[in-house]
Structure 1
Amino acid sequence: MEEKSTVTLENIQRAALAEFSEKGFLGASLRQIVKSAGVTTGAFYGYFSSKEALFASIVEPHAAALMGRFMEAQTFFAELPEAEQPEHMGVESSSYLHWMVDYICSHREPVKLLLTRAEGTSYEYFVHNMVEAEVESTMQYLDVLRRLGRIVPELDRQLCHIVASGMFNGIFEVVVHDMPHDKALRYVDQLRDFYTAGWLKLMGA
């Protein structure tokens, strides 16, 4: 019975991945998912309470992995002694971006679902939440620079949000365009160099 249940679950999720990928969460038909999976609607509800619960079962592990590793990098940088933070700027982000490319290339379909087909779910704001975390870290780093005696121009939160949003949306183009691993690595390294130089200019470095 356990083996049969596992197979059924996998069939439902496989059918859902195809349907969500083609039509997005809002356009996806639960009836079509059930039909493609070869189960009854009643059987479906033995596994998932709703279409959104099914969507979450596919993308949540990847959302947690991407956001979790990102926040680890942010926390590591913030906990460095303040005097050491300027020389580490961009180092942790490089490590994270390389890890992210590896992760995305190993889980392309569900990550693409998370980033491009989540409208109408709580995951719709995944990239926005990542941007907001980046903005908060940036504002804290500006305060660190001022405490270190650096002359830093005033940068308001909205500008920082615009820059960070452009950066993350650019980085996630590796998902949208299904870039091969090596090309994606080069792409994000070039983007990181571009944005790091831009941030340094804005910060008066």
Structure 2
Amino acid sequence: MTESKAEKTEKRLLAYAKAEFMEMGYAGANMRTIAQKAGMTTGAIYRYFHDKNALFAALVGPTADEIMQHFEKLARFQLKMLEQNNKIEELAESSDGLLQVVDFIFSRFEVFDLLINRSAGSAWENYMDSLIEHDLASTQAYLEKMVQMNLLAQTPLPRHLAILVKQSYKQVLEIVASQMSREEALEYMQLLIPFLYAGWSTILRKNTSEEEAT
């Protein structure tokens, strides 16, 4: 279907806006600069987007929703595997899951970059925190299922679990924060995956063994 003039203008505007946000970050980006590069007046931009935040949201919003859905799907899959296999994931399974996350990040790297490194001052600056909070709920549900299945004596304290989940996310998302190439990221994951797996496995198995000892 042929694009209308308005659709072409909006697409061009978003392309220049993305370049400006990538270079200057949200706080430093200037609507007048975006307008000039797009060959428009500043007033013309406001006919498409009522402010800078709306322009930023148009760039990151759809993919941000997709990111949330991806991690929700991954959480459901992990819970299903737990129920079917009656055990926590092995290292190879954890590796596959985290490497899929890496692939997902690199397929949408610019949006991850905008959200993690360049969103300060926008309505999206706490997006990653909200993603972590959402995943914390999924992790809690996973651990509670382990308790129900007698695979775990009790879940860690909520405040401790929140710290562990947040730090795990930060370690994975360091790929974006540090602007790693795909090759660098895969080398990094070869170290990080067994590190995370050993830590979480030790916590969960220690919890169970302590209960059995009593």
TM range (shorter): 0.7 to 0.9
Using a 3 Å threshold, how does the CA distance of structure 1 residues 57 and 87 change in structure 2: closer, same or farther?
Answer: same
TM-score scaled by length of structure 2: 0.81
Structure 1 residue aligned with 2:126: 125
d(CA) in 1 for partners of 2:185 and 2:27?
Answer: 29
1:22 CA displacement: 2.7
TM-score scaled by length of structure 1: 0.84
1:8 CA displacement: 2.1
Alignment of 1:169 onto 2:149: no
Alignment of 1:39 onto 2:40: yes
Structure 2 residue aligned with 1:180: 181
SS of the aligned residue for 1:197 comes to helix
RMSD, aligned CA: 2.6
Structure 2 residue aligned with 1:147: 148
Q: Is the 8 A contact 1:135 1:157 kept in 2?
A: no
d(CA) in 1 for partners of 2:81 and 2:138?
Answer: 13
Q: Which consecutive segments of 4 or more residues in structure 1 shift more than 6 A? A: 89-92
Q: Is the 8 A contact 1:16 1:33 kept in 2?
A: yes
1:71 CA displacement: 0.6
1:74 CA displacement: 0.5
Of residues 81-90 and 96-105 in structure 1, the stretch that sits farther from structure 2 once superposed is 81-90
Q: Deviations over 1:90-142 (max 9, x none)?
A: 77754443333223323332320122111233322222122222222222232
Number of equivalences: 205
d(CA) in 1 for partners of 2:145 and 2:80?
Answer: 12
1:166 CA displacement: 1.3
1:82 CA displacement: 3.2
d(CA) in 2 for partners of 1:150 and 1:88?
Answer: 12
Q: Is the 8 A contact 1:9 1:47 kept in 2?
A: yes
1:144 CA displacement: 2.2
d(CA) in 1 for partners of 2:56 and 2:41?
Answer: 18
1:30 CA displacement: 1.3
1:154 CA displacement: 5.1
Structure 2 residue aligned with 1:25: 26
d(CA) in 1 for partners of 2:74 and 2:171?
Answer: 19
The amino acid of 2:111's aligned partner reads P
d(CA) in 1 for partners of 2:17 and 2:134?
Answer: 31
Using a 3 Å threshold, how does the CA distance of structure 1 residues 20 and 157 change in structure 2: closer, same or farther?
Answer: same
Q: Is the 8 A contact 2:82 2:89 kept in 1?
A: no
